[in-house]
Structure 1
């Protein structure tokens, strides 16, 4: 990759980490389309590695506000979903994964805009956890299902609960991807280079929370994710049209 491409990825990861540390999700939705435009082979392992670091930090910060019961039921679905997602990574082409990123992000955005709000009961938590496991492991975007089912939570409770779930889920996904041979030297190298961007985004989230309320953060996440997905979709279409 060129220096410009590294800078572009670092910039979007900084913003995505700040967003996720403020809302509980968003790292994959915002960063995955940009990473896929640069090099789709870096997905999903690179972002899952960075998500693991970020969720550890946020879980430790918000540990007094966790919904442990809800997290436990969601993880019941997350574990088998993670292994299924790793299987998809092994059998789908890089172009197929890039299209999967587009579909997952746009579907999540449509559901968020329409305001669909399933109740956080046991069956819904398990189903959302399974969907998050498949999507998160295959595309690094596992936030939308959990954001839908936990959208009644607010502030520290939402951030802490989402982060605890994704902390365990990211570890499961990395083990699954490692078994499938999808964690390469290139993904590890890029993840290490991007650690300062994650830490910077985490620190910046403390200040962002003072100026952006939940509604503004939601609009920011939807707008940025939608733009990134549309750009990625345009690139895929142009690549398909080339002889």
Structure 2
């Protein structure tokens, strides 16, 4: 058990570091590794930790949050979550995961070639729907919104994504609580991981300053591409 906690902690440190510097990516890193160490560690404990990380990030860069954009994205996320639940109930998981991964990867390629997205109300609403659908059905909810903000300043990306994650996680936890899926053991594990989460968050301070020196957009696109490729790989190889 001690080794499992240590390995899980190191995973959380890395995930918190990436998300604190780029704005998202914690689930990409932590979820697969935590599932290998102990399947009970996901999804509820990870959602609890992600919620804590999001709140810390909002507090750290609260002046840069695009609250208007958050509102539009969360409005879309409500509908997207319902679509994600429907997708889980009616569609084969692997083919759907592959479609999601290919869609995200296509957006990354278009961004590199000609597409210059802007976080206007319409695109944010669509991105919110995609985020809710993809996040619920395939655990990859960050890229649709992050890609819209890829040309924004690093602080704007991180703080806005954090606000979206905080609200989205609260909705998810409320739903899990109503469904009876939130247990004391989840809170205990999250408490064990809290020092590791804080360590990764603090380490992300110097890292974000490095990325803000003109490297934030490549970082956003890299994490999105890695998320898509991981999802495609998981759908193909199981």
State TM-score, norm by structure 1: 0.77
Q: Give the structure 2 partner of residue 111 of structure 1.
A: 107
User: CA shift at 1:24, angstroms?
Assistant: 1.3
Does 203-212 or 18-27 show the bigger shift?
203-212
Under a length normalisation based on structure 2, what TM-score does the superposition of the two structures give?
0.78
Q: How does 1:1-243 map to 2 (within 5 A)?
A: 2-82=1-81, 85=84, 108-109=104-105, 111-115=107-111, 117-212=116-211, 213-214=215-216, 217-218=219-220, 221=223, 225=227, 236=238
Residues 111 and 215 of structure 1: is their aligned pair in 2 closer, same or farther, counting only changes over 3 Å? same
Distance in 1 of aligned mates of 2:98 and 2:38: 15
Structure 1's 11 and 18: CA in aligned 2 closer, same or farther, altered over 3 A?
A: same
Deviation at 1:68, TM superposition (A): 1.5
| In 2: Cα distance, 1:42 partner to 1:102 partner | 24
Indicate the SS of the match to 1:57.
Answer: helix
Unaligned stretches of 5+ residues in structure 1: 237-243
- Match of 1:152, SS state, is coil
Look up the match of 1:241.
none
Contact 2:105 2:229 survives alignment (8 Å): no
1:2-58 per-position Cα deviation (integer Å, ceiling 9, x unaligned): 433332322122111111111211111221222233344543222221111011111
